[in-house]
Amino acid sequence: MDTVAVKSAHDHDHAHGAAHDHDHGHHKQSFITKYIFSTDHKMIARQFLFTALFFLLIGGAFALFLRWQLGFPGQAIPFISDLLPQSWVDRGWIADGAIQPSLFAQFISMHGTIMIFYVIIPLAVGFFGNFCIPLMIGTDDMAFPKLNMISFWMVPPAGVLLMSSFWLESGASVAGWTSYPPLSVVAGMGQTFWVVSIFMIGFSSILGAINYITTVLNKRAPGMRLFQMPLTVWALFITAVLITLGTPVLASALALVFMDQVFHASIFIPQNLIISNNPFTGGGQPILFQHLFWFYSHPAVYIMILPSMGVVSDVMATFSRKPVYGYKAMIFAIMAIAFLGFVVWGHHMFQSGMSPVLGTTFMLSTIVIAVPSAIKTFNWLGILWKGSIHFTTPMLNALAFVATFVVGGLSGIFMAVAPIDVYIHDTYFIVAHIHYVLFGGSLFGIFAGIYYWYPKMTGRMYNEALGRKHFWWTFVTYNLTFFPMHLLGIGGHLRRTYDPYIYDFLKHFLMMNRFITVFAILLGFSQLLLLVNILWSWKFGKKAPRNPWHANSLEWAAPSPPPHGNFDMQLHVYRGPYEYSLPEMEEDYLPQWIERTDSVRSAEEHAQHSELASDYSDGEPLPHNA
């Protein structure tokens, strides 16, 4: 099928072939400036992608160690146990090939830390933010390319620091990814490494976020109004606002913990503790840390899921061949989530000992935040309604996002209702919930985005058959892994527990834990299909056209892959990003950059009038106003 996109791009090639390379001349780049200290947003996006995928393997491996212990307690880990470092055996972390409690606690902490700070945030914010924002708003690069480079280069040293703590005598962090004092203050050197590492990666986030905000506000292609940006850009933009407001608070909390650890400032250490039979005193308040931590870390939940929500909206519109249902409602819902996200942190602290009156307040605010999530879900269903649904790999992942997000959102209601949280707090119900939101939600959205923009990023098509295989294996094993965790939680099964079977009331869960472990292992290995697809297709995939999905947003106007400087044509934006299936047009899509010729104008007017006739429309003003 001939495409509007390619035709128009060719027209523009002739007209504006040389117009774009003002300060992005095609000067020669050395290997180092091109691949390592690159200031090109697309290269930085790839760096984030591969760094995060590397950490995904590590964090996933840690999860499987934990699962092994819960499913097969005390048994030697097959194949792997001989490969683990001898120093771990010497310190008693591993005995007879089985994980000991001290190593288990380190894996618990590091699994959560890595998955949140080194996988999901770098993928959702670092990768999508860098790759999508300049391309989707039709500009050559970020507003501050050097800042962007620094933002990435804070990640590897932070990651090395974090991982190196496994070689400390006292081991890595054992205080969980939440790192509550007093434990995090007294737990040893690994905890200090943890604090410094997270502090650095927080700054990486802040630098990136400043860049995103500036870029979105200042560098949009001519003609593009804010309410003509794709929802991916909107979501990333609001995520960046969340990061700039929230992350400094986390940084301050970490700095205070650092002061307590290193200088015994006793900000979070109360009077007269007895630690290992020794007095340890201060004048502080441990709950204060939780307030500071969750003031960032609850919005962080939305930092991790909003980008995926944006991606999923774009992917679903493209593959339903339909405008996003309630485009502005979607944006206002994102804004509402972002705003409410800052007034609900206390729902993590219902059992913490803070005033129960605050519990009432936070219960009500938390339960209200379910509303914008519900609005988004209904609008996603609205996109499917009367669409023409193409079941490609990105679409399958996007649909899985919606389905699992519904589960994660609904299980969140249990926690939001404070009296129920009393029982399920710190049980596997929470573990199930967070994995439905972060794995099922964020990660399926990320998968959808990786497949969707793969042709643009690499200039090659991914392997569709392999992509589907990856999706189905992941979707099935994922649900069989995490859904039973709700049942464990309802049964009172503790999270972060090395051996639940010392409790009589949990003994009957051994078989269910074993079931979960088997599917977790399959889930882990299913991800190799994604890696193989990414690497293999990069070299051997079919060459990708400019606009393989016949999509409307600006990135599809650029060559695949886009060169340094991105666009080889002068862009002007004439309409919103979701003008699919106009009744009068032969093609079922009308990209944002296509000029308003007479025939386009009449098709748009006709579409608008027929829509106005049938119902209220949230579309563009009539074309003759433009």
Partner 1 sequence: MLDYLPEVVSTVGIAHDHLFVLVYYITAIIFVLVNVLMVYFLIKYRRREGRKAYHFHGSMPVEFTWTLLPTLLFAGLGFYSDDLWADMKYQNRVPKPDIEIDVLGQTFLWHFRYPGADGVLGKKDFKFRTATNLFGMDPSDPYGKDDFITTTHFNLPVNKTVVVHLSSVDVLHSFFLPHFRVKQDAVPGMWINVPFDGLKTGVYELVCAELCGSGHYSMRGVLHMQSQTDFDKWMNEQTKSKTPAPPVAEGAAASTESGTGDPAATMGAGTANSDTSVAQ
Footprint (CB under 8 A) of partner 1, residues 474-513: 486-488, 490-492, 494, 496-500, 502-505
Applying the rule CB under 8 A, the residues between 100 and 159 that interact with partner 1 are: 101-102, 104-105, 108
The Cβ of residue 374 has, within 10 Å, a number of other Cβ atoms equal to: 14
Choose the binding region for partner 1 from 44-52, 211-219, 365-373, 524-532 (rule: CB under 8 A): 365-373
Choose the binding region for partner 1 from 135-143, 190-198, 271-279, 554-562 (rule: CB under 8 A): 271-279
Closest CA to 592 of 621, 550, 552: 552
Angle at the Cα of 91 from the Cα atoms of 86 and 92, rounded to 5 degrees: 100
Q: Using DSSP bridges, classify how beta strands 273-275 and 98-99 pair: parallel, antiparallel or unpaired.
A: unpaired
Q: Does 170 bind partner 1 (CB under 8 A)?
A: no
Cβ-based nearer residue to partner 1, 107 or 131:
107
Q: Does 388 bind partner 1 (CB under 8 A)?
A: yes
Q: Does 272 bind partner 1 (CB under 8 A)?
A: yes
Indicate the DSSP class of residue 568. S
* Side-chain-side CA neighbours of residue 367 (13 Å): 14
Strand partners, 543: 460
Q: State in angstroms the smallest separation of the CB of 421 from partner 1.
A: 9
Q: State in angstroms the smallest separation of the CB of 184 from partner 1.
A: 9
Closest CA to 379 of 326, 320, 331, 316: 326
Applying the rule CB under 8 A, the residues between 177 and 206 that interact with partner 1 are: 180-183, 186-187
Q: State in angstroms the smallest separation of the CB of 503 from partner 1.
A: 5
Contacts of 50 (CB under 8 A, 6+ apart): none
Q: Are 173 and 190 in contact (CB under 8 A)?
A: yes
Whether the ω angle into residue 561 lies within 30 degrees of 0, i.e. cis, is yes
Angle, helix 393-416 to helix 286-320, in steps of 10 degrees: 150
Applying the rule CB under 8 A, the residues between 225 and 264 that interact with partner 1 are: none
For residues 355 and 14, what is the distance between their CA atoms, to the nearest angstrom?
69
For the chain, give the longest Cα–Cα distance.
85
Q: State in angstroms the smallest separation of the CB of 322 from partner 1.
A: 4
Cβ-based nearer residue to partner 1, 10 or 390:
390
Near partner 1 by CB under 8 A: residue from 150, 161, 287, 531: 287
Q: Does 323 bind partner 1 (CB under 8 A)?
A: yes
Cβ-based nearer residue to partner 1, 9 or 590:
590
Q: Does 581 bind partner 1 (CB under 8 A)?
A: yes
The Cβ of residue 311 has, within 10 Å, a number of other Cβ atoms equal to: 32
Q: Does 286 bind partner 1 (CB under 8 A)?
A: yes
Q: Does 605 bind partner 1 (CB under 8 A)?
A: no
Applying the rule CB under 8 A, the residues between 332 and 361 that interact with partner 1 are: 351-353, 356-357, 359-360
Q: Does 522 bind partner 1 (CB under 8 A)?
A: no
Cβ-based nearer residue to partner 1, 339 or 414:
414
Q: State in angstroms the smallest separation of the CB of 584 from partner 1.
A: 9
Near partner 1 by CB under 8 A: residue from 31, 263, 540, 616: 616
DSSP output for 39-70: --HHHHHHHHHHHHHHHHHHHHHHHHHHHHHH
Choose the binding region for partner 1 from 38-46, 82-90, 283-291, 302-310 (rule: CB under 8 A): 283-291
Site mask for partner 1 (CB under 8 A), range 408-447, x = bound: --xx-xx-xxxxx-xx-xxx--------------------
The Cβ of residue 77 has, within 10 Å, a number of other Cβ atoms equal to: 18
DSSP run (H or E) holding 346? none
